[in-house]
Structure 1
Amino acid sequence: MSAAQKTESSHPGTPIPDSNAYQPPVIRRAEVVAFALVSMLIITVVAVLYVAKAFFLPIVTAFIVGTMLSPAATFLEKRGIPRAASAVLIVIGVTGGLAFIVGLISAPLMEWTTRLPELGTLLKDKLHVFDRPLALWHQIQVLFGGSETLATTRFEMPKIDWVQPTLEFLSPTFTEFLLFFAILVLFIASWKDLRRAMIMNFADHEWRLRTLRILNAIETSLGGYLITVTMINFGVGIATGLICALTGMPNPAGLGALAATLNFFPIIGPVAMFVILVAVGIITSATLGAGLLAAALFVGLTFIEGHFITPAIIGRRLQLNALAVFLALAFWTWLWGPMGGFLASPILIVGLILKEHLMPTDKTQLPPD
């Protein structure tokens, strides 16, 4: 009698174990505890970043922007300019460029701000074309049981009580600006020493080499991202200026500079620019159709740029997944506002580089569908 038969005879009704049968993985208590601890750590970090936004946002922005600008400091250093002087020159140059763009935008903005009551009345008068469609819609509501008082409602301009909170949300404080520029200069000036300290912090040669590769990849990728996105947005600004000039919009240079600046903030920036073009076009044009022409052409421009040009260039260079970019944009915009949206893609790039070097995966063939 075989061993299996002896076992079956001694324990009747017990199935013989099959070693080739698939056994589902068992979730151990230690794995559940580890997952819960990691989840609590992530929630705590997000809460701290949200509450201490005024402190962490300038620091993270300075680190990201400083890493992007470090290759320029290295280039100047190789030409005989000290690293500290290179950092100051780069920050002054970037600040000067931003000041020039702000100058192009602020001049017409200040003019339009002084005429805000007049422009509001003019916009309200031109939007009375929507009174009849709104009245028809209210009649339909009344027909299906709505309030009869709604049928006589006319198109009303929204109140401007949201302007001041919006500006406070978009504009960092003076302390945040000061902290950002101070950390940016110090970071660029001491980046070589920081690199060396992070590399030499590991005693193992393999980890030193891995850290060096990670830092080189982050610096190269963020520098390439800054150059590429800047050139794309510069092209969007020029195209928007040409659209505004051809459609008779006032101050096309300022509107083009505004479009280039807002395009650094994915999704949020183009939507804001579309609203601005609609408002300016309706106010300055004789007819509603002529006023919406520039905004319609801008929508076509951003559609081509967002769906063909930018994905082709950025995706080819950095291999970013569109869904990951959108989720990162939504999360960091919710956490830190518009500046979080600006930092979303660079932070995603840094995260993907860290994952690639710290948790490499073997390229295995997937089974066919």
Structure 2
Amino acid sequence: MRVLPSERLISGNSEGVPLPESRSELPPVIRRTEFVAFALAGLLLIAVVAVLYVAKAFFLPVVMAIVAGTMLSPAATFLEKRGVPRAVGAVLIVIAVTALVAFVFALIAAPVMEWSSRLPELGAQLKEKMHVFDRPLALWQELQTMVGGSDGLPSVQLPKIEWVQPTLEFLSPTFAEFLLFFATLILFIASWRDLRRALIMTFGERDARLRTLRILNEIEVHLGNYLLTVTIINVGVGVAAGLVCAVTGMPNPAGLGALAATLNFIPIIGPVAMFVVLVVVGLVAFPTIGGGLMAALAFGGITFLEGHFVTPTIIGRKLALNALAVFIALAFWTWLWGPLGAFLSSPLLIVGLILKEHLLPENWPQLPQE
């Protein structure tokens, strides 16, 4: 019996499904339902980002409190095992952390207040020091004129200081945001054990409960280790920066060291901002440019060693963070929530990686070996 082409069967298919004769009969690579699902997921993501951006005054203190509370929960558990009630331990931990943060900011605020009162004088000194670049700029202007370029570079002027007040307003949260943050932080630490149990018991199946328990345990352990490790590293960077400032003769080395330790909590942006601060302070405090750049160059060497050797060696063993992922997360959360978003970028990235590891199925399609 002759088999017509239209009746050919797919090899290995026992159900007898006809093989399509032309490429036009092949199923599409992306089905309509899949396209609709992707579109809905994209719209949901855009809506979530828009809500987080518009309702920043609510979500930022709450997320900040939850992340900080998860980092500090092991300390509350430690106190609870030694007979301290968890609610009392939560209050004591928040008071201790607040006092430490207030002490650091007091070290930073003293020189900032002193220098802010002398801004016109310091600006005139810095402008006078910048006259050393007049000759290179004049040579560059002559070179552009010889090659038929523009009329030359405009004169270099120092930026005005009108940005100081808007920047302080942007960095300073309102009293309501402070109150929301502290209330959420204390209540979260005090009730974290009950919240864990409620989240685990939300699921009916045993496997889902075990998966939720493993996720919560890993998030708590990794965030706690991240906070402890990064704090120790940044304190070391601050001490080293303070010693460098003291050796090189910079004014107020303790305040500059505290500022270096604080800014180093913000990846990439913090060390760069501290380098600029040291350059400006050095140019104003020293009579020569070479002397003013010594502390900044030494700090650059310290942060290079810390960023390329110390931090990857310590943190990389516990939870590998891709440099590109860290940079994109930093850019996104800084754009969304400002400096506090920059501080939250790495902890939120760690939480996302933990969720990815546990929620993706084990039989997820793998690429073939090269």
- TM (normalized to structure 2)? 0.91
Equivalent pairs, count: 359
Q: Deviations over 1:130-172 (max 9, x none)?
A: 1111222223333344554x56x54321111222222222222
CA drift of 1:223 comes to: 0.3
- Aligned-pair distance for 1:206? 1.7
Q: Which residue is 1:348 aligned to?
A: 349
Q: Is 1:112 equivalent to 2:115 in the alignment?
A: yes
Alignment of 1:306-317 (within 5 A): 306-317=307-318
Give the drift of 1:173: 2.0
Cα offsets for 1:256-313 (capped at 9, x unmatched) = 1100000001111111101110011011112100101111111111111111211221
Alignment check: 8 A CA contact 1:283 1:291 kept? yes
Task: Say which is worse superposed, 354-363 or 256-265, in terms of deviation.
Answer: 354-363
| 2:80 is the counterpart of 1:88 | no
Correspondence list, 1:239-318, <5 A: 239-318=240-319
Q: How does 1:164-203 map to 2 (within 5 A)?
A: 164-203=165-204
Residue 78 in structure 1 maps to residue 81 in structure 2? yes
**Residue in 1 that maps onto 2:16:** none
> Is 1:45 aligned to 2:48, yes or no?
yes
Residue 219 of structure 1 corresponds to which residue in structure 2?
Answer: 220
Identity of aligned residues (%): 69
Q: Do structure 1's residue 7 and structure 2's residue 4 form an aligned pair?
A: yes
Asked if structure 2 preserves the Cα contact closer than 8 Å seen for 1:274 and 1:298, the reply is yes
Cα distance in 2 between the residues matched to 1:76 and 1:123: 52
The whole-number CA distance in structure 1 between the counterparts of 2:27 and 2:136 is 62
Deviation at 1:179? Answer: 1.1
**Contact 1:123–1:283 (8 Å) recurs in 2:** yes
Q: Partners of 2:92 and 2:190 in 1: how far apart?
A: 11
Distance 1:17 1:129, change over 3 A: farther
The 8 Å contact of residues 315 and 321 in structure 1, kept in 2 or not, is answered as: no
Residues 80-159 of structure 1 correspond to what in structure 2 (within 5 A)?
80-146=83-149, 148=151, 150=152, 154-159=155-160
- The Cα offsets for residues 215-272 of structure 1, whole Å up to 9 and x where unpaired, read as 1111011001100110110110011011111111111111111000000011111111
How far residue 356 of structure 1 moved from its aligned partner, in angstroms, is 1.3
Report if aligned partners of 1:63, 1:187 keep a CA contact under 8 Å in 2: yes
Secondary structure class of the residue paired with 1:332: helix
Find the residue that maps to 2:84 and give its secondary structure: coil
Write the distance in 2 (CA, Å) between the matches of 1:46 and 1:197.
27
The 1-side partners of 2:184 and 2:9 are apart by: 66
Aligned mates of 1:332, 1:282 — CA distance in 2: 33
Q: Aligned to 2:287, what secondary structure does the other structure show?
A: coil
Aligned counterparts of 1:190 and 1:363: Cα–Cα separation in 2? 36
Instruction: Sort the Cα spacing of 1:19 and 1:142 in 2 relative to 1 into closer, same or farther, 3 A.
Output: farther
- How many angstroms does 1:70 deviate by? 0.3
